[in-house]
């Protein structure tokens, strides 16, 4: 997501997956 700041892409995907679960 783009609500925090501008973290790396791999972290963005990791967070997305974690939020999805």
Whole-angstrom CA distances from 7 to 15, 16, 19, 21 are 10, 12, 15, 20
Location of structure tokens 């963005």: 12
> Residue 2's pLDDT is what?
59
Mean pLDDT of 1-11: 63
Q: Structure tokens of 8?
A: 């790396």
- pLDDT at position 5 is 66
pLDDT at 9 over 60: yes
pLDDT at residue number 20: 59
pTM over 0.75: no
Check residue 3 and give its pLDDT. Answer: 62
């Amino acid at each position: 997501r783009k609500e925090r700041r501008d973290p790396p892409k791999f972290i963005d995907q990791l967070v997305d997956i974690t939020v999805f679960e």
